Chain A
Amino acid sequence: MRLWALLFFFCLTGLPLAAEPTAAEILRRLDQNQLYPTLFIESTMIIQGRKGQRRLRSQSWSQGREKSFIRYLSPPRERGTSMLKLKDQLWLYSPQADRTIAIAGHMLRQPIMGSDLSYEDMMERTSLVKNYQATKLDNEVIQGAGSWVLELKAKQAGLAYPKQRIWVDPKKIAATKVELYGSRGKLLKRVTIQSFIQTPTGWYPSDLTYKDMLK
């Protein structure tokens, strides 16, 4: 009777009876979701500023985690501006000034095209398994669905965000919300993923909001 009651409870809460994956396993699956041998994305970035909205269209090509190239298509002022990332180096090309500029040091913390996303954020697309130690926190319900919550702590110093908190959709094994914290534990940025597209290896975010929590 007790066993039936327990089975009935799990059916009601919607959580699988089978053992949940460990934090390390979830982290490995999240990494897998974001890693593709080659990737081409055409995207539109909508930047909400004080003086209204700006829409930036771009195309990007990437190979693994180490090589990527972005070219802006519009608006006219940004058209042709390109960024190249090779390992831990980043360059910017401006057709207006006909200059190739290395993005390093102070510049890495600057926002890209006036958005809340910094060059450093762009450089941080590294393996979660390699850089962070994950701990599983209590499950939470977000928008009516249960989520696994992971707390990530950096394994080594020097990362832009020494602590992260990730909410994972158990069905897709994909992050639906990410909070990025500074070295003093202050919440710096919040990423909310609204929708995904299915790929052969998992789910890839197709619509996300990036918010600088200090602004």
Chain B
Amino acid sequence: MIRFLLKGLLRDRHRSLFPLLVISLGVALLVLFQAWLQGALYGTLSNQAHFRTGHVKLLTRGAWAENQSSSLDLALSQVETLKNELATSYPDLNFFPRLRFGGLLDVPDAKGETRSQSPILGFGLELFNHKQEIQAFHLQEGLAQGRLPQGPGEILLTLDLAEKLQLTLGEKATLISNDPNGGMVIHNFTLVGMVRFGIKPLDRASLIGDLKDLQRALGMRKGATEIVGFFKEKGLNRPRALEIKRHFNQNHPLSELSPQMITLSDQDGLDTYLDQIESWMSWILIFFIGLLGFILWNLGLINGLRRYREMGLRLALGEEKKQIYQSLLLEALVLGLVGTFLGTSIGLLPAYYLQEVGLDTTKILTGNQNFMIQNQVHAKIIFSNLWVGFFPGLFAPFLGTLISGLGVFRKNTAQILNQLESI
């Protein structure tokens, strides 16, 4: 029976081609749209977590209260002890101490006097023997020139900053900053690599070095401005992050320099952003599924109504009403199934392209941008892309046909004879 229907659909293009095209196109757009939303919204969140907030973050109460995450006088002390305590208490997360600081980078001329200068945002990361931090900061992928630091006194700069300072690989530059007591720090470093994050706020003026090396330079051997924690599996788990935060904070004192745990949701208005993402994603998808369903349902209805004459003829030839109705429904199912498969495949192709290559947003997003939005926004293909098209693609035309096909039961002999006369 299905084989017979397939033959009919293939041979009679009036019956199959247009509905198939509409179903495929609608499903393809839905799949592409879902993958794009997923990539754009969660990609921004993922960047925010990797570069800034972690899934959870430890900093001093003073730094959190005064919103001074890069203030060295409010930095955490005894970081190794804290890290070990965290690793033992919460084994489902990986923890990394980081140093975030401000300063000025000064490039000398041949006489050792200032040739160029720029303010910088410094990051001290566990670069030696810790691949996870290199991965979190996308340093290997972002390396535009040179190599990653391998020993003390070596730093990376963003390509934009190095170009602004007219600094080339192997040249020395002097970091001017403050130690935790406010004392002046003047320290020489060698540039060994240049990176590009593809994120405006970071690309403007970032300096990256090894944590221990920068701790020595800034006079804070066991200190760090923060310890970020990431769930080992499946990314952010909001309820668990909240549970960890409550548990940690209950067991630590309330002084200005004592550690305080915060979650990703507590920072940069991300709580609202996360809620909005989840709500937007659901509503936008419901809207699109609804809209596409409505169009395809109408298509099923029109298709059914268009074929009333054919039904009359088939009834006149002796086919039973129930049999005709069943064949119409089966046809709708086959069309929906084929259209959804086609549409999903077609939609996944541009989604894959956008996942791998991305879309340049530098010309779209202008102005002072502080959110970690990548210049190249990528789509993200997820498992639900494979089945999301089935709701509207399969069920809507089926439902349309289910209603319009009922017309066959209202046909009487007079109508059939009338229709036969007009043929």
Contacts and interface: CB of A to CB of B under 8 A. Distances in A.
A113 B182 contact: yes
B117 A104 contact: yes
A203 B104 CA distance: 38
Contacts, number: 75
B188 interface: yes
Interface stretch (A11-19, A24-32, A49-57, A158-166): A49-57
A96 B186 contact: yes
A20 B243 CA distance: 71
A204 B183 CA distance: 28
Interface stretch (B41-49, B172-180, B289-297): B172-180
A84 to B, nearest CB: 12
B188 A51 contact: no
Interface residues of A, number: 28
Given A50-B62, A97-B174, A107-B176, A102 B114 contact: yes
A101 B182 contact: no
Interface of A is mostly: mixed
Given A99-B174, A102-B113, A115-B182, A50 B74 contact: yes
Interface in A103-151: 104-107, 110-111, 113-115
Contacts of A97: 174, 186-188
A52 B257 CA distance: 13
B219 interface: yes
Interface residues of B, number: 26
A22 interface: no
A192 interface: no
Nearest to B177: A110
B184 A113 contact: yes
B266 interface: no
B201 interface: no
Most buried by A among B174, B219, B256: B174
21 contacts: A47-B182, A49-B73, A49-B181, A50-B62, A50-B257, A51-B73, A52-B181, A54-B182, A94-B174, A94-B184, A96-B187, A97-B187, A99-B108, A99-B112, A100-B112, A106-B104, A107-B117, A111-B178, A111-B182, A113-B182, A114-B182
Interface of A: 47, 49-52, 54, 75, 77-78, 81, 92, 94, 96-102, 104-107, 110-111, 113-115
List of 9 A-B pairs having minimum Cβ-Cβ separation, nearest first: A114-B182, A94-B186, A102-B114, A97-B186, A50-B73, A106-B119, A101-B106, A97-B188, A100-B113
Interface of B: 62, 73-74, 104, 106, 108, 112-114, 117, 119, 174, 176, 178-184, 186-188, 219, 256-257
